[in-house]
Amino acid sequence: MNLPKYILRRAAFGVFVLLSVMTITFILSHSLGGDPIYAWLGKAAGLHPELAQAYIQKYHLKDPVLVQYYYYLLSLAQGNMGYSPSRNFLPVTEVILETLPFTIQIALFAIVMSLVVGVLLGVVSARYNHTPIDTGIRAFYMTGYASPPFFVALLLLIIFTYTLGILPSGGAFDPTLTKPTWITGLPILDSLIEGNFPYFTSALLHVILPSSALALVTFGIVTRVLRSSLLEIMHANYIRTARAKGLDENTVFYKHGLRHALIPVVSLSSLIVTWLITGTIFVENVFSYPGMGRYVVQALNGQDYPGILGTTIVFALVIVGANLVADILYAVVDPQVRLG
Amino acid sequence: MPIRNFFSLVFRNKEAAIGFGIVFVYLAVVLVVAIAGALDLAVTPYDPLLQNVGPSLGAPSTSHLFGTDFLGRDVFSRVIWSIPNDFLVSFVVVAVALVVGCVIGAVAAFRGGLLDELLMRFTDVVFALPALVIAMVISVALGPGLTHMMIALLVIWWPPYARVARGESLIVAHQNYIEAARFAGQRTVGIIFTHVLPNISLTMLVYATLDVATVVLTYAGLSYLGLSVRPPAPDLGEMISTSQDYLISAPWLPIIPGVIIALAVVGFSLLGDGIRDALEAA
């Protein structure tokens, strides 16, 4: 099988996965107990039966689940993901477009931080193998990896906000500042392009703690794999050859060793993405960060079916996309994969 | 390998020994609490549900080792009583996922063809679900409670087991003794139970030991979101979320349960790594 055909097959499978995720989540979310109309309208549902009736009719709440699914697919085909009761019945697409950039913002910072810290500590740890430095680094990443993301977030909050008082406790920006206009969609980038420095500084300060919390629980994945891959490679024959021909240890380690040791790190991308998604859900809730992780918890608590579905589809899209990229990268690096 | 050799191999590794020690302490606590619960004995200094046994938000002291929460309940007693939750959920989820995964993986590998394709594509689909979100949806649908929590986690937990088990079974499938068993007239189901499962069990057990740590973390997260036990029953994640409002006046309230969770995860990770290294060295 050639590469384009392989990619096409993986992509087709990705679409199949997405459709399955959608169906499974639809059925699951519609079997949430209780009458959604009370969760949606609150007291108004009891005070105004005709209003409740209108909502039940409009959203087909009393129809069988499969009929409701038919209506959902119908409107989805028109680009409408429904209306979100937990957000005053705003269109779900609108809420996602508003919250997703914030999640991307902290995820991007977290990815960069965990890669930089992860690779750096992995290298140092392997270089100083069996020394106290190595032991310290291993203890550090193991503790980070073992800590629940919300706990790390709370610890950072206690240290940097409540004890040192140098970083804000929550939110994504100072609400008194003027918001940047929509250019790339990412507020932090837009404000920089526009030269809206007060907003940029504020957004940057607000992004530090949530993304650090995420990075602290994910960097260990990188360090751990890089460390063991480096230790294994440094015993390889070609490394001995490089040493034997008189290259100094730094050249051997960085040019010959590290380059190859980084390959397994590439295959970690989908694992890291999954961890980040899980992490954002908690971290955003700790910091009241207005991203998708906060939205999904609100939607769940408010029996907001369209909201739950919309966010799950976006999360699944990210996971499927990350897997696809990892598959393709792997196939490019290792042609044997395509034959299987 | 004789079990005694195995233990000595694990214990030669200092980190694995530490991991074993940590897990052992937790298991002892679980055992004591379980027995005490069954016999209705008091093992903790205070009743974990009793309010106003100390001041509201009291700092750790000799009478209240971990302090008291906003309702004046003894945090130490609550921590001790919530540790079994995490272990019960983790062990049940991992054990059931192990069994389900092994069966699916082994059957897929040995039957091959359409059944293999169907089983593995189904596994892929479940694997691609945003695990935490789906577990949240299921546990909201089922309502709070440990059994519901286990069901929610199990729905999304078995796919990696099925994948690993299939891969391992494929290796076993090419061994001569399988051919021999076939020629001796043994049927596929028999071969799977007598030859395949025993041979993949060691790899699967190592994976499971490391995986307990992940279940503990995920369970803590769901508990933090208020999906686990029904209040006022104590649980570590729930203790963290309810003490979030007192970060300034009582920072130890979220820190102590958090450390207890992290320590359990570290224990299982060290132990799992140690067992794996010992097996690789053997």
How much is the ipTM here?
0.88
What's the CA angle centered on A318, arms A32 and B123, to 5 degrees? Answer: 65
Q: B240 and A151 in contact by Cβ < 8 A? A: yes
Q: Chain B partners of A168 at a C-beta cutoff of 8 Å?
A: none
* pLDDT value of residue A72: 87
pLDDT at B187 exceeding the cut of 90: no
CA distance B38 to B24: 21
Which pTM value belongs to this model? 0.89
Please state, in angstroms and as integers, the Cα–Cα distance from residue A272 to each residue in A52, A267, B164, B265, following that order: 44, 10, 20, 19
pLDDT at B245 exceeding the cut of 70: yes
A270 in contact with chain B, both atoms CB, cutoff 8 A: no
The H-or-E segment that residue B128 falls in is helix B113-128
* pLDDT value of residue A340: 46
What's the CA angle centered on B65, arms B59 and B67, to 5 degrees? Answer: 30
| Tens place of pLDDT per residue across chain A (340 aa) | 677 888 888 888 888 888 888 888 888 888 766 677 777 777 677 777 777 777 777 777 777 888 888 888 888 888 888 888 888 889 999 999 999 999 999 999 999 999 999 999 999 999 898 899 999 999 999 999 899 999 999 999 999 998 898 888 888 888 888 788 888 888 888 888 888 888 888 888 999 999 999 999 999 999 999 998 998 888 888 888 888 888 888 888 888 888 888 878 877 877 888 888 889 999 999 999 999 999 999 998 888 888 988 998 898 888 888 888 877 877 777 666 554 4
Q: For the purposes of burial, counting CB atoms within 10 Å of the CB of B44, is it exposed (0-12), middle (13-18) or buried (19 or more)?
A: middle
B131 in contact with chain A, both atoms CB, cutoff 8 A: yes
Tens of pLDDT along B47-68?
A: 888 888 888 888 888 888 888 8
A315 in contact with chain B, both atoms CB, cutoff 8 A: yes
Question: Closest to A319 (Cβ–Cβ): which among B128, B143, B218?
Answer: B128
Tokens (6 digits) for B17: 């020994």
Q: A143 and B132 in contact by Cβ < 8 A? A: no
Tens of pLDDT along B17-31?
A: 899 999 999 999 999
CB burial of B210-231 (b: ≥16 within 10 Å; e: otherwise) equals bbbbbbbbbbbbbbbbbbbbee
| AA identity, residue A69 | Y
Q: Where are the alpha helices (DSSP H) in A187-254?
A: 187-194, 197-233, 237-244, 249-251
Q: B128 and A148 in contact by Cβ < 8 A? A: no
Q: Is B119 helix (H, G, I), strand (E, B) or coil?
A: helix
Q: How many interface pairs between A and B have CB atoms less than 8 angstroms apart? A: 123
A185 in contact with chain B, both atoms CB, cutoff 8 A: no
A67 in contact with chain B, both atoms CB, cutoff 8 A: no
